[in-house]
Amino acid sequence: MTVAGIDVAHQTLAVAIRTGEKTAKPEEFANTPSGHQALLTRLTRLTQAGVARVCLEATGSYHLDLALALDAGGLALMVVNPKAANRFAEALMTRTKSDAVDAAVLAEFAQRMPFEPWQRPDRAALERRADARRLNALTEARTQAKNQLHALQQSTTTPALILEEVQLAIDETNARIARLRTAALALIAAEATLQDAFDLLTSAKGIGAASAIQLLGELLVLPPDLRAKQWVAMAGLDPRHATSGTSVNKKPRLSKAGNRYLRGALHMPALSATRHDEHVKKLSINYFPICLAGWCRSDRDRVVVVSD
């Protein structure tokens, strides 16, 4: 079986093609639309000779356009979690890390591991996720600016011009957040199914419009047939146990091996629910992250998962 591994960087793509037990010398392509087409042409020619799979890592926004181009070209594509690829490289006792070596590792990963085809997200869902993540970034920037303003106001030596400058940044960020939020709500209102999901989310105590926009942005790009445990794992709220023999028995902790944006979107609603929802209040002690399809509780003593 012939497979291809692609290491994605900001500007370049390192491609390793593996047949049987032999890996050819890696080739390099530009991580641009023209480079994607050149790579697609190269792999399409190989497909006639038996290329079965193409494997690459999920690397933020750098891999997405490439994945879309390869999927549109009809190639069997798998996009793996970087942590899985890293653990696989450790299992191979790889001592060197470079783009070429990483591409070869991904090619061997594609050859040895079960194939899980990449599911192309809906373009509209990707746009909604981009809006939600930009809103999240602006909200974090506003919080940082407010903290700075609070600290500056504690000293009488801070010039009035500096206070005015920081306040101006906060006001500008508020306007940008309002603009993006209005646009996001308009997109949601344009589709009945999205509006129903939005209304269902906001009906839960602790989840307001801002949190619902963040949650929908992350959830809509996922396959619709996920089960409750998969939703919890996707948020990184599943418990991780660490026991071995009779001497190792560590306290369970949340794995946090999932979507940090989704986990972050659930943080404040969870804290709010512990104060205002009677059912959650009875269960919570310190901290209670809530997932849409299941509840996961973490405290100093234990982790308990309660699925629907």
pLDDT tens string 176-214: 999 999 999 998 999 998 999 999 999 888 888 999 999
Parse the chain into domains and list their residue ranges. Answer: 2-112, 123-219, 230-307
Burial 11-42 (b: 16+ CB within 10 A, else e): eebbbbbbbeeebeebbbbebeeebbeebbeb
The structure's pTM equals 0.76
CATH architecture group of domain 2-112: 2-Layer Sandwich (3.30)
**Average pLDDT of span 159-164:** 95
**Region 288-301 average pLDDT:** 39
Q: 3-state DSSP call for residue 13?
A: strand
In whole angstroms, give the CA distance from residue 20 to residue 195: 51
Beta bridge partners of 295: 290, 306
pLDDT number for residue 91? 94
Mean pLDDT on 137-142:
94
Q: Give the confidence band of 305 by pLDDT, cuts at 50, 70, 90.
A: very low
| 287: DSSP letter | B
Whole-number Å distance between alpha carbons of 36 and 13: 9
pLDDT band for position 173 (cuts 50, 70, 90):
very high
Report percent pLDDT > 70 for the chain.
90
Categorize the per-residue pLDDT at 47 as very low, low, confident or very high, splitting at 50, 70 and 90: low
User: Is the confidence at residue 296, as pLDDT, over 80?
Assistant: no
What mean pLDDT is reported for the chain?
85
Strand, coil or helix: what is 306?
strand
CA distance from start to end of the chain: 43
Q: What are phi and psi of 3, to 5 degrees?
A: -135, 165
**Under DSSP, is residue 285 helix (H, G, I), strand (E, B) or coil?**
coil
Q: Which residues have CB under 8 Å from 206's CB, separation 6+?
A: 268, 269, 270, 271, 272, 273, 276, 277, 280, 290
